[in-house]
Structure 1
Amino acid sequence: MLSKSPIVDDSVLMRWMRTEMNKLNDGIVSERKSLAQLLLEEKPTARTKGGKDHLFDTATLRNLSEKLPKNLHDKLKLPILFFFDNHVPDSCYLNDAHALQALQTLEEISRLRTMQQGRLWVGRSIAYTIMKKYPTVVQIVMG
């Protein structure tokens, strides 16, 4: 008689994967702040889901401040979040129109790209490149 191993059970596997994803997302900022607000702080930080402080790179914030129009400083919430969807293996999405506007102004994403149903899908490599270029102000949410 064959017995089913508990690890093969989809519900057990999905619970385990959800637990691991939550651990990975502990470092994601839960209380996002505007660029304008972060520029006023002596030590720009925001609280993460795990309860720790996420320290923003001041040079990167200044760089954004210089390159982005003033009217976007109050609207742009940082960090910019890209979301991985485990059903789409090579892409992730952005769901913040102000973040898209900022990334288009910075020429990281083409102005021809538009959001569809509240999302803009990009290749993961593009998201990683943007994250590397703008340290601490871009995060990737595992989902």
Structure 2
Amino acid sequence: MPVQPSAGDEPTLMRWMRLEIGRINDGVVAERKRLSHLLREEHPSSVTKGGSEYNFDRDALLRMEQALPRDLQVRLRLPILFYFDSTVPDSFFLADEAALQALQCLEEISPLRRMQGGRLWIAKPIVYAIMNRYPTAMQVMMR
């Protein structure tokens, strides 16, 4: 017979879950850099939350440079972060207005889409397709 956790176990479970989410997010870039800055670097890179080096795909950055207006290149911080929320299992959300504008300029998201409440929900298959077209320029982060 399975053992049901008691109400007193909840704080312990929540601490454990936060620890696990932190481990999962160790590969996420800690200091997101502006696209314009990354384009000037000989080897565009940053550091992850776990302390590892994160190298950007130069070809993806160059494709973005060609498609985005200069003012957006200066405002856009990479990688673009899509957030996973376990309460919405089929989508990720975007919480960065410059990222939304960039994805619209790249024709990855309809120009008619708007954020609501500071978020734009995007179906997982669409996010995965975008990530495949712009490797290392996008990451998923758990919340």
**2: CA distance between counterparts of 1:91 and 1:16?**
24
The aligned counterpart of 1:128 is 128
SS in 2 for 1:115: coil
Q: Which runs of 5+ in 2 are unaligned?
A: none
Offset at residue 11 of structure 1 (A): 2.9
State whether structure 2 residue 119 is matched by structure 1 residue 138. Answer: no
**1: CA distance between counterparts of 2:37 and 2:16?**
38
**2: CA distance between counterparts of 1:39 and 1:82?**
22
SS in 1 for 2:86: coil
Q: Which runs of 5+ in 1 are unaligned?
A: none
**1: CA distance between counterparts of 2:43 and 2:60?**
13
Offset at residue 10 of structure 1 (A): 3.0
- The CA RMSD over aligned residues, in Å, is 1.7
TM-score normalised by structure 2 residue count: 0.91
Offset at residue 5 of structure 1 (A): 6.0
Offset at residue 65 of structure 1 (A): 0.5
Percent identity (aligned):
52
Offset at residue 17 of structure 1 (A): 2.1
The aligned counterpart of 2:22 is 22
1:11/1:111 CA distance change after superposition, 3 Å: same
**2: CA distance between counterparts of 1:46 and 1:4?**
44
1:4/1:82 CA distance change after superposition, 3 Å: closer
**1: CA distance between counterparts of 2:32 and 2:5?**
42
State whether structure 2 residue 105 is matched by structure 1 residue 83. Answer: no
**1: CA distance between counterparts of 2:31 and 2:112?**
31
1:1-143 matches, cutoff 5 A: 9-143=9-143
**1: CA distance between counterparts of 2:88 and 2:10?**
19
**1: CA distance between counterparts of 2:5 and 2:117?**
40
